[in-house]
Structure 1
Amino acid sequence: MSGPKTRSSATRFAKTATSRRSTTTSSGETVSPKIGKTGQRTEKLRTTVDLSPADHRRLRRIADRLADDLDLVEVPRRAVWLALLAEVDADEGLYEKVLGRIKADREET
């Protein structure tokens, strides 16, 4: 078993919060703390997307078509999402198309 913690979570949280709060100097000037660089995340993150049955079928059709074109048994849907993210990130024109579609979808609702 591990030994008792020397500092409680509440103490650590309070110290962290204090380091992030702005302070007021005697002359009334507000001074914000310098923002440091946080650690880089190295573990994968899980994202869940809720799809309608029609959208799920469309995703499956795209993955199946890619598998046929690549002469593979299957292309994982994750690979489709990752390829789409890379393309949107690299192609400004595609990004603008996606932006327009999202704007249009938001106006419909």
Structure 2
Amino acid sequence: MDDAEVAAEAVVSAGAFVPARAKLPPRALAVGSPDKGIRSLSDEDVARKREGTANYHELARRSLRSLSEVSPLTAVPTNRKRLEFLEVRTMTDRGRHSNKPSN
């Protein structure tokens, strides 16, 4: 949000909301909405995050190197294989969630 400050090596989790003018200290792990600093990140946490980010960047570079322009299909090929899906049952179908009171 406006004027929020996230210090070096702090991590804001996906979906977290950092309010306006909040100040997250170095190596804070913030989660939730509004965010809650739940703990400080260790050296190991920071190293793992750096490694993961570096891997993500390398995957993006590799993807960009391998991209090639293709022409769109003008029709569905007649011999195109169809994906086959296993039967999908909802949790309600399996009885995990029910509006019935338990006995």
Interval of TM-score (by shorter of Structure 1 and Structure 2): under 0.3
Q: How does the TM-score come out when normalised to structure 2?
A: 0.27
Structure richer in helix, relative to its length: 1
Structure richer in strand, relative to its length: 2
Q: How does the TM-score come out when normalised to structure 1?
A: 0.26
